[in-house]
Structure 1
Amino acid sequence: MNDEHHGDTAQPLVAHLLELRNRLLRAVVAVLVVFLCLFYFSRELYTLIAAPLMQAMPEGTHMIATGVAAPFLAPFKLTLYLSIFVAVPVILHQAWAFVAPGLYRHEKRLAIPLLLSSVLLFYAGAAFAYFVVFPLMFQFFTSVAPEGVSVSTDISSYLDFVLALFLAFGVAFELPIAIVLLIASGATTTAKLSSSRAYVVVACFVLGMLLTPPDIISQTLLAIPMWLLFEVGLIFGRFIEKEKAQREEEDDSVSAKDE
């Protein structure tokens, strides 16, 4: 009897593990396919990523490669990270397909928009960093170089620098999603968050200081969008609270009828 019960519980566990393996394999295959498609253009992709710095560098200067394998490894690393970046929708879809069967109907209705919004917000954060922050920041960096100092940035160091900024801005732009999840889970309310707005603004500038280089331009360009996104999160949070209140009223009315 105990052996049969143990077998019944072990079988679903094995099935879940197999499904998880299949989902992970599909995600890896998606990244690999994108990588193979992009690798041929790896040098052009690096040139595109380096454009904000190259345009800000003084005339006659150029980037350098201090490592022996850096001319190959830097574009290779960029292509790999970019492949993951492009394949994020497929990766999230596989994760959603794995967890969706265990969610309630109202959780599914909330999860799908959150997944789509999180992808778009991450892309928006990276685009904001590339098109707005990088030109201003690199123009500032190159303009304050001491006289007699030639600005010749190493390609590997530059890549590590911009990848960290892409990640920082992409994660920072996920702030509305975090607020909605906190409100939906009941961990906080829009009223509490609104009353703490002054502290949030200070926290945005502190995070801007920690996540960006030590210059006022990039710190401000991260802090202000985070504050605006906080306000956007509050707007959507109020809709979530109204929907929760309506659902609780419906549940109460159903319970009253049953009694």
Structure 2
Amino acid sequence: MLEKQNMSLIQHLEELRKRIIITVIFFIIFVLGAFLYVQDIYHLLVSDLPFKLALLGPTDILMVYLTIATVVAITATLPFAAYQLWLFVKPALTKKERKIALAYIPALCLLFLGGISFGYFILSPMVLTFLMSLSDEMFATFFTTEKYFRFLLHMTLPFGFLFELPAVIMFLTSIGVINPHRLQKFRKYAYFLLIVVSIIITPPDFLSDILVTIPLLLLYEASITLSKIIYRKKLKVEEADSHSAQLD
């Protein structure tokens, strides 16, 4: 019996290793593909800046190009990674759960893009404008390319993942792992965690923390609302199935 369990564990680890390798291969392909257009993407990102970016060393621009290519590759790899994850957990799911999980993959990708867009088009300009206003013309504005893109990375990529929270919660609700009552019960702990996350990913100033914290808290509340909708539908389906079984 123990030997069979060990074999099963080894098979699961082998399957996980296979899925990770496939995902990494896709990621590497997209990184290499992004490098073909990285200069065009760079010029697009800096075209509307009201200031010039400077380089402090010959390797700075290489690090910036690598950062851009990595973000593009992560975005492009996400649907493939989600599909590989679905293939890994597929044997443990029922036929209905498999269909539900597969249907959430497009939502994950759209929410990731939405999170990055929110960070780039809305949050980054607001935070950058506020930080620049602190100088009040007392200092000469000097931005290095590497530091600006590091700031941009902190303002966009985390939101790509955090914006997937509603889809993840809806999926977990639909398969019965969590429910809205549990989410409401742990609301204060979730708030504390989201506040910590917002402080970590933003520049060290109070306004930036507030501008990031509020959307995250609203995102959690939206997740609870969506969970309630999914949970009610799930209960109705279960009641209908139970009633049908009694008639049979």
TM-score grouping bracket, smaller chain normalisation? 0.7 to 0.9
SS of residue paired to 1:87 = helix
Question: Partner residue of 2:160?
Answer: 170
1:131 aligns with one of 121, 129, 141: 121
Aligned-partner residue type, residue 231 of structure 2: E
8 A contact 2:55–2:145 mirrored in 1: yes
Instruction: Provide the secondary structure at the position in 2 that maps to 1:171.
Output: helix
Deviations 1:178-212 (A, max 9, x none): 4435644454435972x888997787667544532
Contact 1:190 1:237 in 2 (8 A): no
Q: Report the Cα distance in structure 2 between the residues aligned to 1:72 and 1:178, rounded to whole angstroms.
A: 35
Contact 2:179 2:227 in 1 (8 A): no
How far is 1:157 from its partner?
1.8
Distance change >3 Å, CA 92–CA 188, structure 1 → 2: closer
Question: Residue 154 of structure 2 aligns to which amino acid in structure 1?
Answer: A
Cα distance change of structure 1 residues 235 and 78 upon mapping to structure 2, 3 Å threshold? same
Of the three residues 55, 60, 70, the one matched with 1:65 is: 55
1:36-82 Cα distance to aligned partner (Å, 9 max, x none): 22212222322333446x23x3xxxx211223311222212321232
- The match for 1:189 among 163, 180, 191 is 180
Gaps of at least 5 residues in structure 2 are none
TM-score (structure 1 length as normaliser):
0.75
- Alpha-carbon distance change, 255 to 161 in structure 1, aligned in 2, over 3 angstroms: same
For residues 86 and 66 of structure 1, the distance between their equivalents in structure 2, rounded to whole angstroms, comes to: 31
Q: Which residue of 2 aligns with 1:28?
A: 24
Q: SS of 2:18's equivalent? A: helix
**Distance in 1 of aligned mates of 2:214 and 2:67:** 31
Task: Choose from 25, 36, 41 the match for 1:40.
Answer: 36
1:220: Cα distance to partner?
4.3
Q: 2:148 is matched by which residue type in structure 1?
A: Y
Between the aligned partners of 1:143 and 1:19, the Cα distance in structure 2 is 53
1: distance between equivalents of 2:9 and 2:190? Answer: 43
Alignment of 1:66-145 (within 5 A): 66-145=56-135
* Amino acid across the alignment from 1:166: T
Q: Aligned residue pairs: how many?
A: 247
1:232 to 222, 226, 231: 222
Structure 1 gap segments, 5+ residues each = none
% of aligned pairs identical? 27
Q: Secondary structure at the match of 1:151?
A: coil
Superposed CA RMSD in Å reads: 3.5
Contact 1:204–1:224 (CA<8 Å) still a contact in 2? no
Larger Rg: 1
